[in-house]
C-alpha cells in the first residue's frame, strides 16, 4: 500500500477484547478471516476509530493533535496503517486477494465439510445421539401439514429439549421435495447486509446432503447473486445442525437442501442491506414464497434460530439469578407471541426495540421464514433456557411449528 496524506484507509469490522493479565486492549477480526490479534495503546485505538474511509491521513494527524496535544508524524501513522493492512484488517486489494483465494478454495471442494462435529455434540455414533433426544419427548400431535420449523442452533446437548420437540414433530411427516434452511450469519462478510447462499452440498458424519441448485438459481433470477459471500458458510454452524437432524430422520440420500444465511434486519437500515448491495430481506422473503408456490414439489422452511444471549459471558454486569432469568423469559415470550401472531414486521420491531438488549441473534432467519409463510399458523412447542452458571452464560431457544 502506498500511503500519502490524502489517503482514506477503511478498517474492516473488528471487535475489541481485554487482555486481563496485561491490562491492555486488543482488536481482532470476528469473522476469522484474519487470524491476527493486535494489542494496542489507547492513542492507537483512537486512530483506529477514525479509519472509516472518510478521514484522510492528514485529517487524522490534525484530530490526534487536538485530542492529545502533541503531533503524530506521518511516518508513525503510516507504520500503524501498514501493520493493519498486513494483518488483513484493512479493506483494500490485499484483503480482497486473500478473500478471493479462500472463496476459490471453498468452491473447489466436492462438498462443504462439517468442521465441528464433536464440539456440537456429535460423537462417533450420531444416530444414537438423535434417537436419545427423540426418546426424551412425546411427539406433538400435528393435525395439518408442517411447512415450517424453528429449531435451535445451539450445540445439541444445550439445545436438546427444543431440538427434540421440533424434530420429533417433523419425524411423523413424510419428507418434502426440499428443505430451505435459513441460518444465522454470525461472523461472515454478508452478516450485516446480504442473504448468503452456497451451492455446495453438505457433508456430515451421516453422509452428504445435496443442495438443490436449480431451486437456488430460480431465487437468484429474481434476487441477483446470492453467492457473493459464499465463503461465509465455511465456518457457520446454524445450517449444518439442521442438516444432520434431517439426515437422521429421512436418510442422507433423500434430503435436498437450500442453504441460506440471513442478515440481521434490526439495524438502522432495517430489512434493507446496510451497504446498499444485495436484496432487501423482506423482498427476498416474498420471492422465496413465490418460488415455493410455483414449484410442483413441496418445501419445508427451517430456521436455525437461537433467542437471547445474556450473562457476564456476553458483557452483562448482572448475575444470572432467578430474577434476571425471569426477565429474559418475559422478553423472549414477547417475541414468541409475535411469532404466533404471524406478523413478520411486528416481530422485527419487537426484537429491535431498545436496541435488542438481550441480544437475540436470529431475527433475520425468523423474519424471513414468517415472510415466506404468511398464511401458516405458528405453534410454540417448547421454550428452554440453557444456563451455564460457572461461566455466567445463558442462551435461550424455542421449538415452533408452522402448519397449513
Cα four-point dihedral sign 27, 90, 260, 328:
positive
Distance CA 200, CA 212 (A): 9
pLDDT of residue 22: 62
Q: What is the DSSP letter of 376?
A: P
Distance CA 287, CA 284 (A): 5
**Residue 205: CB partners within 8 Å, gap ≥ 6?**
114, 117, 122, 126, 244
In this predicted model, what pLDDT tens digit does every residue of 277-332 receive, in sequence order? 889 999 999 999 999 999 999 999 999 999 999 999 999 999 999 999 999 999 99
Look over the chain and give the mean of its residue pLDDT values, rounded to a whole number: 93
In this predicted model, what pLDDT tens digit does every residue of 134-185 receive, in sequence order? 998 877 777 799 999 999 999 999 999 999 999 999 998 999 999 999 999 9
Cα four-point dihedral sign 91, 94, 100, 102:
negative
Q: Could you give the residue ranges of the DSSP H alpha helices within 31-155?
A: 42-50, 57-68, 74-86, 93-107, 126-134
Ranges 9-23, 65-79, 187-201, 275-289: which has the least confidence = 9-23
Distance CA 95, CA 378 (A): 44
pTM for the model stands at 0.92
Q: What residue ranges define each of the domains in the chain, with the CATH number in brackets? A: 15-103 (1.10.10), 111-403 (3.40.830.10)
pLDDT of residue 20: 65
Cβ count within 10 A of residue 370: 27
Chain-centroid distance of CA 35 in Å reads 20
pLDDT of residue 24: 76
Average pLDDT of 102-118?
A: 92
pLDDT of residue 191: 67
From first CA to last CA, the distance across the chain in angstroms is 57
Query: Partners of 382 in the beta sheet?
Result: 399
pLDDT band at 1 (very low <50, low <70, confident <90, very high): low
DSSP 144-166: S-EEEEEE--S-HHHHHHHHHHH
Ranges 67-81, 151-165, 261-275, 304-318: which has the least confidence = 261-275
CB 163 within 8 A of CB 148: no
Residue 2 pLDDT more than 70? no
Amino acid at each position: 500500500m502506498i500511503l500519502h496524506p490524502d489517503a482514506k484507509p477503511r478498517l474492516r469490522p473488528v471487535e475489541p477484547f481485554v487482555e486481563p493479565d496485561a491490562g491492555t486492549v486488543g482488536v481482532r477480526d470476528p469473522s476469522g478471516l484474519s487470524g491476527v490479534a493486535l494489542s494496542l495503546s489507547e492513542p492507537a485505538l483512537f486512530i483506529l476509530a477514525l479509519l472509516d474511509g472518510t478521514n484522510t491521513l492528514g485529517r487524522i494527524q490534525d484530530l490526534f493533535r487536538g485530542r492529545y496535544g502533541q503531533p503524530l508524524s506521518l511516518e508513525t501513522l503510516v507504520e500503524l496503517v501498514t501493520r493493519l493492512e498486513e494483518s488483513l484488517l484493512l479493506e483494500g486489494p490485499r484483503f480482497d486477494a486473500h478473500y478471493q483465494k479462500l472463496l476459490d478454495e471453498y468452491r473447489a471442494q466436492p462438498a462443504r465439510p462439517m468442521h465441528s462435529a464433536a464440539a456440537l455434540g456429535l460423537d462417533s455414533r450420531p444416530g444414537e445421539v438423535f434417537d436419545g433426544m427423540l426418546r426424551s419427548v412425546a411427539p406433538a400431535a400435528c393435525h395439518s401439514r408442517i411447512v415450517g420449523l424453528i429449531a435451535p442452533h445451539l450445540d445439541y446437548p444445550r439445545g436438546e429439549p427444543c431440538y427434540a420437540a421440533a424434530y420429533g414433530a417433523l419425524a411423523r411427516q413424510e419428507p418434502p421435495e426440499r428443505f430451505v434452511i435459513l441460518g444465522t450469519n454470525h461472523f461472515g462478510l454478508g452478516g450485516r447486509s446480504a442473504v448468503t447462499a452456497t451451492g455446495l452440498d453438505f457433508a456430515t458424519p451421516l453422509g452428504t446432503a445435496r443442495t438443490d441448485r436449480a431451486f437456488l438459481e430460480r431465487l437468484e433470477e429474481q434476487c441477483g447473486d446470492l453467492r457473493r459471500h459464499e465463503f461465509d458458510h465455511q465456518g457457520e454452524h446454524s445450517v449444518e445442525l439442521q442438516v444432520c437432524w434431517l439426515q437422521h430422520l429421512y436418510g442422507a440420500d433423500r434430503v435436498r437442501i437450500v442453504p441460506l444465511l440471513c442478515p440481521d434486519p434490526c439495524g438502522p437500515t432495517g430489512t434493507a442491506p446496510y451497504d446498499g448491495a444485495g436484496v432487501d430481506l423482506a423482498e427476498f422473503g416474498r420471492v422465496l414464497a413465490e418460488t415455493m408456490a410455483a414449484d410442483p414439489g413441496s418445501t419445508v422452511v427451517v430456521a436455525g434460530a437461537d433467542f437471547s444471549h445474556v450473562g457476564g459471558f456476553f458483557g452483562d454486569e448482572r448475575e444470572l439469578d432467578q430474577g434476571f432469568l425471569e426477565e429474559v423469559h418475559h422478553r423472549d415470550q414477547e417475541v414468541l407471541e409475535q411469532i404466533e401472531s404471524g406478523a413478520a414486521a411486528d416481530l422485527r420491531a419487537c426484537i429491535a426495540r431498545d436496541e435488542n438488549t438481550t441480544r437475540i441473534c436470529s431475527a433475520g432467519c425468523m423474519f424471513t421464514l414468517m415472510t415466506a409463510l404468511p398464511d401458516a399458523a405458528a405453534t410454540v412447542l417448547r421454550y428452554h433456557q440453557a444456563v451455564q452458571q460457572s461461566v455466567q452464560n445463558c442462551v435461550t431457544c424455542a421449538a415452533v411449528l408452522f402448519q397449513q
